[in-house]
């Protein structure tokens, strides 16, 4: 069933998704202001990290879900998911920079350099910055579609780095169920792309009609 | 609304300034409900409050004489925080899980068996164990390997009292503590995070140090289940995980015990695990810590002290390279 929302319906959907993606942030703010978490700083760090990962997976899921369902309009939500990924990753980074290092850049960089799991997470965050910065229509035009697309394929690097960061952190306590779940999801979402691009390559070699573009 | 009260304990509020608990709890509930609005379903409400504290049942008081010699005068961590923020993997992996799940533990009747290289091996029931020596209250700093700390008034007596009572033989070099591992009482045992039962250990001279506390209570009452009821050890100069909880067996050995975290990740958790700001955990620094409830958003993390600020134990490690024996 190819559901195709009218423009007005689409903007309603966008509004709902926006509020839904903001809810985790509001929940964290609400609980912290009521002083419910015993260690609010750890709570903020964990929650924002979790949600950055959830939204990263959702962003990556847009293309496969679109292909499988034929809901091409999902593409119109992808930018918002991507920007919310950056929003939570930014809060997560700020939690580290503020609470762990009290805005001491030198101390933060020392820590990043010394500890591989932080280095990996930090790299993932830094790589997200150009993607967020080039998310506007004007930037897409300025870069040109092809170059923009290449730049945004950085997400294929960012996602495994983010999962590795989470894995490495949890490995301290052998508590790997959650990171393994994320690793599986990211592996499947990226694997589908590899599979489809292989199909396409084979189809092109045979000189047949091109497979749909991912 | 953030209203921080002075926690240094030096300026206690007047009793007229204190809002009775029932009043403020009702007030909080009322404000919270107003804010959420009538539209939100109760499920959403539950979800938003997942971090809320579990209600503690009425606790049994425990008389003990304060021992200022071994106590810090630093502000004590709130009881609520010390009992709702726990690592006790037998009851779950999240900090709030033990408070939520530990009600299934039955701390009485309870026996502790004392075995191995001792002249008088014995099984002691918890009541005779509690009565073995006069109970003292000691306010210790607690430093978790994860980088946070608390200040907790424990109730117990020096472990050396028990050790002398059972008379270790000349072969005894180490003491091994084993935690209960009953899947019926401990839902967390289903997870394969550690090889159960939880085992910790000390060198005999560490265990004999007067600071090493055999602990049966905290904050003037018997230990809450999530804090290791009915009996645990507290070794304040080592990271928190060295202090085994809900002990069922104490064994004196010739060889160094195979301790749970050391078996699980030997490169990360050494046998000694002394608090040492100069020896980083492989994945984070141990140079600083955050005091729960005290160090907030606008305060830098405090520096971690060697041996957690208990320099009197340094002689136990004279001549040892503490980077190697971490």
Nearest to A165 by CA among A99, A116, A105: A116
Examine the domain organization and report whether B64 and B165 are in the same domain. Answer: yes
Q: Say if CB B264 and CB B293 are below 8 A apart.
A: no
Residue A156 located in a structural domain? yes
Rounded alpha-carbon distances, angstroms, from residue B315 to A124, B235, B270, B287: 46, 16, 19, 22
The average pLDDT across B66-75 equals 95
The tokens for A17 are 């998704």
Residue B16 located in a structural domain? no
Query: Domain containing A90: what range?
Result: 40-60+79-190
pLDDT of residue B51: 55
Yes or no, beta carbons of A116 and B283 under 8 Å apart: yes
Q: Say if CB A77 and CB A13 are below 8 A apart.
A: yes
Cα first-last separation, chain A: 20
Task: Extract the residue ranges of chain A whose pLDDT is less than 50.
Answer: none
Nearest-5° angle of CA B212, CA B287, CA B307? 20
Query: Domain containing B211: what range?
Result: 56-317
CA B168 to chain centre: 26
Of B280, B285, B292, the CB nearest to A39: B292
Yes or no, beta carbons of B148 and A42 under 8 Å apart: yes
- Burial zone of A19 (CB within 10 Å; 0-12 exposed, 13-18 middle, 19+ buried): exposed
Examine the domain organization and report whether B237 and B312 are in the same domain. Answer: yes
pLDDT of residue A161: 97
Whether residue B301 has pLDDT greater than 60:
yes
pLDDT of residue B250: 98
pLDDT of residue B189: 93
Percent of chain B with pLDDT over 70: 82
Residue A140 located in a structural domain? yes
Residue A127 located in a structural domain? yes
Residue B17 located in a structural domain? no
Whether residue B16 has pLDDT greater than 60:
no
The residue of chain A nearest to residue B48, with distances taken between CA atoms, is A27
Residue A198 located in a structural domain? no
pLDDT of residue A5: 87
Whether residue B45 has pLDDT greater than 70:
no
Examine the domain organization and report whether B31 and B113 are in the same domain. Answer: no
Examine the domain organization and report whether B46 and B104 are in the same domain. Answer: no
Helices (H), chain A: 7-33, 40-69, 75-94, 105-114, 116-133, 137-143, 145-152, 155-171, 177-205
Domain CATH code at residue B175: 3.90.420.10
Residue A209 located in a structural domain? no
Examine the domain organization and report whether B31 and B120 are in the same domain. Answer: no
Residue B104 located in a structural domain? yes
Whether residue B275 has pLDDT greater than 70:
yes
B34 pLDDT band, cuts 50/70/90, is low
Residue B296 located in a structural domain? yes
Residue B12 located in a structural domain? no
Examine the domain organization and report whether B179 and B303 are in the same domain. Answer: yes
Q: Cα-flanking dihedrals φ and ψ of residue B277, to 5°?
A: -65, -15
Examine the domain organization and report whether B66 and B45 are in the same domain. Answer: no
Of B1, B283, B297, the CB nearest to A115: B283
The average pLDDT across B29-34 equals 57
Residue B265 located in a structural domain? yes
Examine the domain organization and report whether B40 and B185 are in the same domain. Answer: no
Of B52, B95, B265, the CB nearest to A174: B265
User: Which positions in chain A touch B80 (Cβ < 8 Å)?
Assistant: 38
pLDDT of residue B285: 84
Examine the domain organization and report whether B30 and B118 are in the same domain. Answer: no
Yes or no, beta carbons of A38 and B292 under 8 Å apart: yes
Return mean pLDDT, chain B.
87
pLDDT of residue B294: 83
The average pLDDT across B224-252 equals 97
Tell me the ipTM for this assembly: 0.71
Yes or no, beta carbons of A115 and B293 under 8 Å apart: no
Residue A49 located in a structural domain? yes
The average pLDDT across B119-138 equals 97
The per-residue pLDDT for range B134-187, each reduced to its tens digit, is: 999 999 999 999 999 999 999 999 999 999 999 999 999 999 999 999 999 999
pLDDT of residue A214: 52
Of A37, A41, A169, the CB nearest to B51: A37
The average pLDDT across B260-286 equals 90
pLDDT of residue B7: 44
Examine the domain organization and report whether B115 and B238 are in the same domain. Answer: yes
pLDDT of residue B225: 97
Whether residue B72 has pLDDT greater than 50:
yes
When divided into structural domains, chain A yields a total of: 1
Yes or no, beta carbons of B2 and A111 under 8 Å apart: no
Residue B101 located in a structural domain? yes
Yes or no, beta carbons of A99 and B265 under 8 Å apart: no
User: Which positions in chain A touch B303 (Cβ < 8 Å)?
Assistant: none
CA distance B86 to B240: 10
When divided into structural domains, chain B yields a total of: 2
Residue A130 located in a structural domain? yes
Examine the domain organization and report whether B197 and B128 are in the same domain. Answer: yes
Closest approach of A37 to chain B, Cα-based (Å) = 6
User: Which positions in chain A touch B84 (Cβ < 8 Å)?
Assistant: 38
The per-residue pLDDT for range B84-123, each reduced to its tens digit, is: 999 999 999 889 999 999 999 999 999 999 999 999 999 9
User: Which positions in chain B touch A36 (Cβ < 8 Å)?
Assistant: 49, 51-53
Yes or no, beta carbons of A33 and B48 under 8 Å apart: no
Residue A110 located in a structural domain? yes
Q: Cα-flanking dihedrals φ and ψ of residue A116, to 5°?
A: -55, -40
Examine the domain organization and report whether B34 and B147 are in the same domain. Answer: no
Residue B191 located in a structural domain? yes
B262 pLDDT band, cuts 50/70/90, is very high
- Checking B296-302 for CB contacts under 8 A at 24+ apart, the result is B296/A40, B296/A41, B296/B4, B297/A40, B297/A41, B297/A98, B297/A99, B300/A102, B301/A99, B301/A100, B301/A102, B301/B147, B302/B149
Q: Say if CB A85 and CB A59 are below 8 A apart.
A: yes
pTM over 0.80: no
Greater confidence (B245 vs A169) lies with B245
């Amino acid at each position: 069933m190819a559901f195709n929302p009218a423009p007005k319906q689409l903007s309603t959907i966008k509004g709902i998704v926006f509020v839904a993606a903001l809810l985790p942030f509001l929940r964290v703010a609400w609980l912290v202001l009521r002083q419910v978490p015993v260690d609010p700083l750890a709570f903020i760090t964990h929650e924002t990290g979790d949600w950055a990962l959830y939204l990263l997976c959702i962003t990556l899921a847009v293309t496969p879900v679109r292909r499988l369902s034929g809901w091409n309009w999902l593409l119109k939500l992808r930018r918002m998911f991507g920007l919310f990924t950056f929003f939570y990753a930014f809060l997560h980074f700020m939690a580290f920079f503020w609470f762990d290092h009290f805005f001491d850049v030198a101390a933060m960089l020392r820590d990043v350099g010394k500890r591989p799991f932080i280095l990996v997470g930090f790299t993932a965050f830094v790589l997200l910055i150009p993607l967020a910065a080039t998310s506007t229509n004007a930037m897409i035009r300025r870069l040109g579609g092809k170059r923009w697309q290449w730049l945004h394929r950085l997400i294929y690097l960012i996602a495994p780095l983010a999962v590795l960061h989470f894995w490495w952190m949890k490995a301290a306590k052998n508590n790997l169920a959650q990171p393994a779940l994320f690793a599986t999801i990211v592996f499947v979402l990226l694997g589908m792309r590899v599979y489809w691009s292989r199909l396409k390559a084979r189809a092109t070699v045979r000189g047949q009609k091109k497979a749909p573009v991912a | 609304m953030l209203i921080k009260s002075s926690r240094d304990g030096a300026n206690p509020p007047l009793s007229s300034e204190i809002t009775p608990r029932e009043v403020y709890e009702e007030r909080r509930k009322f404000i919270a409900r107003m804010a959420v609005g009538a539209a939100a379903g109760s499920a959403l409400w539950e979800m938003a409050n997942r971090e809320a504290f579990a209600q503690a049942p009425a606790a049994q008081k425990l008389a003990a004489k304060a021992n200022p010699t071994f106590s810090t005068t630093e502000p004590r961590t709130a009881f609520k925080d010390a009992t709702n923020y726990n690592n006790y993997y037998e009851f779950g992996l999240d900090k709030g899980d033990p408070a939520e799940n530990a009600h299934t533990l039955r701390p009485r009747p309870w026996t502790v068996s004392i075995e191995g290289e001792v002249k008088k091996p014995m099984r002691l029931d918890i009541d005779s164990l509690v009565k073995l020596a006069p109970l003292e209250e000691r306010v210790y700093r607690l430093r978790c390997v994860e980088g946070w700390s608390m200040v907790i008034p424990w109730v117990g007596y020096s472990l050396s009292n028990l050790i002398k009572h059972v008379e270790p033989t000349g072969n005894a070099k180490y003491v091994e503590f084993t935690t209960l591992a009953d899947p019926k009482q401990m839902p967390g045992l289903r997870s394969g995070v550690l090889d159960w039962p939880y085992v910790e250990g000390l060198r005999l001279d560490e265990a004999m140090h007067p600071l090493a506390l055999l602990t049966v209570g905290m904050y003037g009452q018997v230990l809450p289940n999530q804090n290791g009821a009915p009996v645990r050890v507290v070794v304040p100069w080592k990271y928190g995980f060295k202090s085994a909880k809900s002990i069922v067996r104490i064994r004196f050995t010739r060889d160094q015990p195979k301790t749970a975290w050391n078996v699980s990740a030997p490169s990360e958790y050494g046998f000694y695990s002394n608090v040492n700001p100069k020896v980083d955990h492989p994945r984070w620094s141990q140079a600083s810590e955050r005091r729960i409830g005290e160090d907030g958003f606008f305060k830098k993390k405090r520096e971690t002290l060697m041996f957690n600020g208990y320099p009197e134990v340094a002689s136990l490690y004279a001549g040892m390279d503490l980077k190697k024996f971490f």
